[in-house]
Amino acid sequence: MELIFEISKEGRRGFIPPKMDVKPYKIESKYTRKNAPKLPEVTEGDVVRHYTNLSRLNYAVDTGFYPLGSCTMKYNPKLNERVASLSGFSEIHPYQDSKTVQGALKLMYDLGESLKKITGMDAMTLQPAAGAHGEYTGIAIMRQYHRSRKDFDRNEMIVPDSAHGTNPASSAMNGFKVIVVESDDRGMVDVDELKKVIGPNTAGMMLTNPNTLGIFEENILEISKIIHDAGGLMYYDGANLNAIMGQVRPGDMGFDVVHLNLHKTFSTPHGMGGPGAGPVGVKKFLEDFLPVPTIDKKKDKYVLDFSHKKTIGRVRSFYGNFTVLVKAYAYILTMGEEGIKHASEMAVLNANYLRTEISKILKVPHNNICMHEFVATTLPLEEKGIKALDFVKRMLDYGIHPPTVYFPLIVHEDIMVEPTETESKDTLDRFVEIVKKIYDEANEDPKILKEAPHTTPVGRLDDTRAARYPVLRWKEE
């Protein structure tokens, strides 16, 4: 596609300003440009077509099925966008006197209360701007807790080998040594292995439940007890709450700190670097460590509370990504308690339906009842020279966004599928049909897969080069 600079023609305009009716003002020449800015000269129609066409080069959850495991690409109701764009939300300023933004503060307060109820936690901060940022915040709180008790030797964080990559990263960023504990052959934390790695240096454990294989840790209460008895704290990675919201609560499983990804579970758009929100909830004994300010209610007034004495400090300017919070709040209100419970039931039902159907085609190593997602593998196709990457790239030709691949690390050539509750049985059946078709192609004509995708604007990119040397600026030749 041509760049907007390339379709530029001298003299074309999208807008003609009215004749000036004030006297020209002479600006000192040191403040004025020497050359005109090199802006594209195009009509309004050119602009609309250009950006509409650009947007169509991209795959989105609004254009089709997006079963990206661990990412919860569910449909985002447009009502939430409408609400977030109301001027009372979108045209306020964080420096405004809190008396004049009571509605916004109430929204944040109420959202915090709802999230406390959903997670079983006692206090919340809405500041962190993403899941990884929430993890960083939560682990910093754990570190500060141990320090406040002069328990300086607790420098080890236990992380299972199925963990999301951000878990060891957040631990390391907070100065912890990462201790990996292996999974057993059912894909759960191996309790005997866990017992071997705990000790006086254990600061805590980071866990997600269901884990990244989509499996619910049956021994979660025993695991929490082992960590607590060793003097550590339990951290819950709640990025994907889709399987359990309204069913069970991390607070009841023995977790002390939890972060949520509002941009996954609570239906605010994400991907392509859009804004997120990673609120962190804690049990009462950790409340004083939360970032300031939190939002409090005094009589019937909402106030910013800076009183936390042991606070880890601010982790983000102001109060977080406010409009993301508005969208999540709108989602929770429109769903209600019953709706949220129903959504998790449907998410699990959809995942199990797909798991059952897909396991008739591809190998599913842990083929038991799963939660919101499951992991299949293309390893048996290796003799045809087919990798998981080839398999999923071919899906693009059939109009499906590829699922997550090569994560979690403990299953080789894996494909991680998360359908979410917002997809119909028709969509799931179509997906199964496409997987079957690609499987047959892999056996009959593997070259089609090796060279896929064939129908997209670009084929296979050099991922490393694209990440290391991105070309983000147009330069005139």
Query: In this structure, what token pair is assigned to residue 471?
Result: 């070309």
- For position 410 contacting ligand PLP by CB under 6 A, the verdict is no
- For position 240 contacting ligand PLP by CB under 6 A, the verdict is yes
Shortest distance, position 179 Cβ to ligand PLP, whole Å = 18
Of 177-185, 236-244, 279-287, 400-408: span binding ligand PLP (CB under 6 A): 236-244
Beta bridge partners of 296: 303
Contact letters for ligand PLP, residues 68-107 (x by CB under 6 A): --x-------------------------------------
Contact letters for ligand PLP, residues 43-72 (x by CB under 6 A): ---------------------------x--
Rank residues 281 and 453 by Cβ distance to ligand PLP and give the closer one. 281
**Of the residues 231, 276, 403, 419, which one makes contact with ligand PLP according to CB under 6 A:** 276
Shortest distance, position 197 Cβ to ligand PLP, whole Å = 21
Shortest distance, position 172 Cβ to ligand PLP, whole Å = 15
Q: Is the peptide bond before 210 cis (omega within 30 degrees of 0)?
A: yes
- Nearest alpha-carbon partner for 235 in 313, 183, 163, 314: 163
Shortest distance, position 259 Cβ to ligand PLP, whole Å = 8
Rank residues 72 and 294 by Cβ distance to ligand PLP and give the closer one. 72
Question: H helices of 149-279, where?
Answer: 166-173, 191-197, 220-229
**Which residues contact residue 314 at a Cβ distance below 8 angstroms, ignoring those fewer than 6 apart?**
127, 291, 292
- Nearest alpha-carbon partner for 211 in 248, 249, 243: 243
**Of the residues 80, 125, 202, 208, which one makes contact with ligand PLP according to CB under 6 A:** 208
- For position 189 contacting ligand PLP by CB under 6 A, the verdict is no
- For 20-77, the DSSP string reads P-S---PPPGGGS-SS--------HHHHHHHHHHHHTTS--TTTS---BTTT------
Q: Is the dihedral of CA 430, 436, 439, 441 positive or negative?
A: negative
- Nearest alpha-carbon partner for 123 in 292, 243, 253, 276: 292
- For position 413 contacting ligand PLP by CB under 6 A, the verdict is no
Shortest distance, position 181 Cβ to ligand PLP, whole Å = 17
Contact letters for ligand PLP, residues 369-408 (x by CB under 6 A): ----------------------------------------
Rank residues 154 and 270 by Cβ distance to ligand PLP and give the closer one. 270
What strand order describes the sheet that includes 202-207? 123-125, 280-282, 257-260, 233-238, 202-207, 156-160, 177-181
- For position 261 contacting ligand PLP by CB under 6 A, the verdict is yes
- For position 239 contacting ligand PLP by CB under 6 A, the verdict is yes
Shortest distance, position 73 Cβ to ligand PLP, whole Å = 11
Q: How many residues bind ligand PLP (CB under 6 A)?
A: 13
Task: Rounding to the nearest 10 degrees, give the CA dihedral for residues 469, 470, 475, 477.
Answer: 60
SS3 of residue 457 by DSSP:
coil
Q: Is the peptide bond before 408 cis (omega within 30 degrees of 0)?
A: yes
Query: In this structure, what token pair is assigned to residue 114?
Result: 């709802």
Question: H helices of 120-218, where?
Answer: 131-148, 166-173, 191-197
DSSP state of 456: S
**Of the residues 143, 146, 154, 164, which one makes contact with ligand PLP according to CB under 6 A:** 164
Contact letters for ligand PLP, residues 336-365 (x by CB under 6 A): ------------------------------
Residue with smallest beta-carbon separation from ligand PLP: 131
Shortest distance, position 276 Cβ to ligand PLP, whole Å = 5
Q: What is the footprint of ligand PLP within residues 100-139 (CB under 6 A)? A: 130-132
> What's the number of CA atoms in the CB half-sphere (13 Å) around residue 248?
17
Binding site for ligand PLP (CB under 6 A): 70, 130-132, 164, 166, 208, 237, 239-240, 261, 276, 278
